[in-house]
Structure formats: structure tokens, C-alpha cells
Amino acid sequence: MNGAEAIMGTDSPNHLMIAPILIPLIAGAVMLFYEDRQRRAKFVISMIACVAMLVIAVQLLLGAKGAGPSGGNEIGLYLLGDWPTPFGINLVLDRLSALMLVIAGLMAIPALVYASAEWQARGQHFHSLFMFLMMGVNGAFLTGDLFNLFVFFEIMLAGSYGLLLHGSGAERVKSGLHYIAINLMASLFFLIGVSLIYGVVGTLNMADLAQQMPTISDRERPLVHAALAILGIAFLVKAGMWPLCFWLPPTYQAASAPAAAMFAILTKVGIYVLLRLCFLTFAPGSGPSAGFGAEVLLFGGLATMTYGSIGVLGAQAMSRMAGHAVLISSGTMLAVIGLAMNGGGISMLAGALYYMTVSTLGLAAFFLLAELAERGHGAVAAMLALSSDLYGTPEDEDEYEPSGIVVPATMTILSLCFAALAVLLAGLPPLPGFLGKVMILSAMMEGDQGGNAMSWVFLALLILSGLATLIALVRVGVQTFWAGADDEGPRVTIAEAGPVVAFVLMALLMTWQARPVMRYMEATAAALHSPDVYINGVITAERTFDQRGEGGS
């Protein structure tokens, strides 16, 4: 497709592509002029912005799904300033980026509703920080060059710093300082890698970089590999690969529930960038650099799954378990990327994308549910005390009573949601966590990976990690929801229980609509295995100004 054409095939720029970046930017900036006491007005503005972002993301996904005569393998390109590739800033939309936009939109609305019950009032500028976080996340999914990826990464991190520290407390501040220090170091690696790439190749546009990779001289290729490896450290820190993940469980545990729920998508930003760069620059059949780093991702993913499984079994508090469950999800994706780069096949990657989607939504719900369950007293109090002694929890956080309509039969609703999330995260039938794992394993056994020894190790860890998650969640579930049946349940409002129920319903919907969702994932995986479509769509694009005959040579 030419120039800034819409993915639906028109000759005018598809301005919807820039909307997921502009909407949170404008909303966040406008709310800075509101006083903190005007929380209802801020909530309304934030909710309108989040709904608009989700609607636009769905529209873009539908366009990416049905564009073009080949069934949606074209890309959408938006040239900011109408400068040609690779000199200008461009936004690129394909099936993968559209999918990630939808996931982020689906997570933002429930998290925002949950925060409206109480968390928005426990610090300053919650809604602006939330919007700036969304701006950075959406921009990272859409940008087509490494420099602007760094810009959006920093915007995303700046918002996450504020959200992590929101509500104060000694443990939250301690974890926040560690989080900031780790991410500043990762940003330094990001800049070093970007500088080296530009110094050797002369471009930061991802499509242009991928096009030049096969022609790089043998003398310069090791330097380019080193630059990309340094750059990859920043993404692996964000994705939580072992041993770079020690900061993640305590940080996510210390964060407020709505912030921790949104942090579940931050790890997937790292996964997204790894998917994008690995299948553009190191895809099978792409020349001498094909498969570079695949072994690191595979072994790192397996180690991360192991570390996460041990952490889930050792954790006593639900919020701590959720942090380690994030590592299991990230480790699974890293291992699949490593296998897919060595010829793992389209079906296995499609199953992994399905698993990533459902696990991310399930983890967001689990962070919300963990706070509600740990708000209670009685039987769970002893476990929380033990968890505090072993790991540290935000004990100095002031007790508060949520405002709003209280949900009747609180423990019944929470226990049902907990049971559904336990089944989903452990990968048991009939929920989509099981479907995603079965798709990964069946594709691996049917393809060339079936004879690979590391594939069997991955298979064992995938099963054992689910077993470890099930054991840990059943243990804490019995202590929380059944052993303390005579204790008075926590006071939970509709604004707090509703988002948890909404996430569970999303999981049920993905089970019900598994076939069309899986078809989309298969087409997305096929597009990742055909990087020429992305590269040619970006490189050969013409400027809209030239197309109209008003300029150009």
C-alpha cells in the first residue's frame, strides 16, 4: 500500500492510527489543570478516553483483519509530517500491533473503574499518570523506528513510576526506587544499543534495518549483533527474563491493585518488541543473522518459567503469587519465541499469542482480586503476617473503607472469580489457558521441534508450571475462602468487584469464540513469519503529498 493509506484501502491517511496516542496525551494534559478534589470530572474524562481508545483499537483490528485481496496481510502506515521512509517518523499497524492495542484497551477500562472506588483519591494526578502510561504503551505498539520506541518507552516508564508510588507507604517507596533504578539502567542500555546500530547501519527504522541486515559486511555484522544484544537487554528487563527479573515480584506486590493490573501489560510490551525485532531481523531464511539470539531466549525463557514456578509455590500472599505468575507467562512467551526462530512453525506461535492474551487478562484480574481477598481478616491474617515477615508487604498502608454500593455475598462472588482465575492461570480445561497450552504443545509435537531435546524440556516445564500454579492457588484459596468461612468478609463495592467479573467474562468469551480468535492468531503468526510484507509495505510507501500531485520530483 502506498503512502499513508488506510488499511482499508483508501487514498487518504488513516488518522485513526494516531488517535491511540493523541487521545491519552490530550486527556492527561487537560486533567493536569483540574484540582485533585475534582476526581469525578477526572474519572469521566479518563473513562471517555479509555472507551474511545478501545473502540478505535477494535476498528483498527477489524481493518487489519480484513484489508486487501490477500486477506489482511497488508500493513497500515501513517507518515507524520509526510516525510518518506526511513527519514521521517512513521506509525505502522499490522495484525500484531492491532492485537496489542485491543489488549491494552480491554485492560484499561476495568482497572480505571476499580481505581475510581478509592485509589484515585490516595494521591495526586492518578488519572493523568494513567493516561500517560497508556500513551506510552500504545505508542510502543505503533511506532516503526527504534528512536521513537525509546521515546514511548520513557513516557510509559514515567507514568509507571508515578503509578507505582501512588499511595505512598514505606514498602511502596522502597520498591519504587528499585524499580526506577533498574529501568534507568535498562534505558541506558537502550540508548547504547540504538547509538551503535545507527553508527554502523545508518538507520533506526525497523523495516529499513531489516532490509539491510542480509547485506551487512562480515566485518560489521558482529558489531550489529552486539548492538542488538545490548538493545535486547532493555526489552528483557521489561519482559522479566531471569536473572533480570528479581525486581518484578516485590514491585508488583507493592503497587496498588489497579496499577499492578496495568503493569501486567508492561511485560508484554517487552515481549512485543522482541517479537517484532526478532522476526524482522533474525527471521528464518533472512541470511547470515537468521536465528541470532534464539538460544538465549529459549534458555532464558525456560529459566524464567522455573524461577516463576518456584516463586509461586513459595509465596504466601496472593499479590506475591501474581507477580511470579507474570514471570511464568513471560517465560513461556520467551521460550516460544526462541523455538519459533529455529523453525518452530506458525501454529505454535499462534497458540502462544492466544495464551499471551488470555494470561495477561487473567493476571490483571488476579491482581485486583488479590487486594480484595487480602483486605479481609481472620484466617488469612496469619498468612499475611507470615508473608510480611518473609517478603515484606505495605503494612504501613492506612486502612480505608471503600465508598460506593457494597456487593452482597462478597465472598461467594470472589471465590467463584478466584476459582475461574485459578483454572485459567493453571491451564486447566475448559478455560482458554488450557486451549493456548494445548495449541502450543500439539503444534510443537507435530512440527520439526518434536525431536528437539529442549522442546521436551519446555513441554515438561509448561506442564509443571501449571501444576505449581494450581497447587499454590488451591492452597491460598482454601485458606482465604473456605477455612475462614465464619469470618466476616471484606467490604467490597460494585466498582471493585465489577472489573474482576468483567475480566472473567472476557476469558469465558475467548473460550466461546476460540475458533475465530485462533484464526486471527494464526494469521498474525503467519504475518510474523513473512517479514517481507512488513518491510516492503514500509519501505515502498509513497508520500501522500506526492500522490496528490502537489509536490515531489
d(CA 65, CA 61): 6
State the pLDDT at residue 448: 53
Side-chain-facing half-sphere of 542: CA atoms under 13 Å: 13
In a domain, 418, yes or no: yes
Structural domain count, the chain = 1
**Mean pLDDT value of segment 120-131:** 82
- 518 closest CA partner among 335, 293, 338, 347: 347
Q: Considering the domain boundaries, does residue 412 fall inside one?
A: yes
User: Which is nearest to 297 in space by CA: 242, 340, 338?
Assistant: 338
Is 372 within the bounds of a domain? yes
- Angle at 72 (CA atoms; ends 214, 288), nearest 5 degrees: 10
**Dihedral sign computed on CA atoms, order 352, 356, 357, 363:** positive
Cα angle value 66/69/73 (rounded, 5°): 60
pLDDT at 30 over 60: yes
The long-range contacts involving 309-315, CB below 8 angstroms and separated by at least 24 positions, are: 309/461, 309/464, 309/465, 309/468, 309/469, 310/468, 311/249, 312/468, 312/469, 312/472, 313/468, 313/471, 313/472, 315/249, 315/387, 315/391, 315/472
pLDDT digits (tens, 9 = 90+) for 137-151: 999 999 988 989 999
Cβ neighbour number for residue 198 with a 10 Å cutoff:
15
pLDDT of residue 129 exceeding 80, the answer is yes
Which of residues 113 and 172 earns the better pLDDT score? 113
- Return mean pLDDT, the chain: 80
More confident residue, 158 or 455: 158
**Which carries the bigger pLDDT value, residue 209 or residue 553?**
209
- Does pLDDT of 83 surpass 50? yes
Share of the chain above pLDDT 70, in %: 83
Our measurement of the distance from residue 254's CA atom to the centroid of its chain's CA atoms, rounded to an integer in Å, reads 19
Residue 366: predicted pLDDT: 92
Confidence band of 411 (pLDDT split at 50, 70, 90):
confident
In a domain, residue 73? The reply is no
Nearest to 362 by CA among 514, 513, 499: 499
Amino acid at 54: L
pTM: 0.86
Quote the pLDDT of residue 553: 35
Q: Which residue has the cell 534495518?
A: 209
Range 181-203 average pLDDT: 89
- Look at residue 1 in the predicted model and tell me its pLDDT: 38
pLDDT recorded at residue 385:
42
Are 73 and 346 spatial neighbours (Cβ–Cβ below 8 Å)? no
Residue 5's pLDDT is: 43
- The secondary structure of 473-521, three-state, reads HHHHHHHHHHCCCCCCCCCCEHHHHHHHHHHHHHHHHHHHCHHHHHHHH
User: Interior CA angle at 363 toward 357 and 368, to 5°?
Assistant: 135
Q: What is the residue range of 385's domain?
A: 290-392+407-513
Is 97 part of any domain?
no
| Residue 486 pLDDT > 70 | no
457 within some domain: yes
- Residue 67 clears pLDDT 70, i.e. is over it: no
pLDDT, tens digit, 9 for 90 and up, residues 309-338: 999 998 888 888 888 999 999 999 999 988
Is 495 a member of any domain?
A: yes
Residue-level pLDDT at 284: 67
Q: What is the pLDDT of residue 68?
A: 37
Q: How far is CA 287 from the centre of its chain?
A: 30
Q: Are 136 and 142 in contact (CB under 8 A)?
A: no
Q: What are the start-end ranges of the H helices in 240-317?
A: 248-254, 257-281, 294-314
Q: CB–CB of 424/433 below 8 Å?
A: yes
Residue 219 lies in a domain: no
- d(CA 341, CA 218) in angstroms, rounded, equals 21
Cell for 157?
A: 516508564
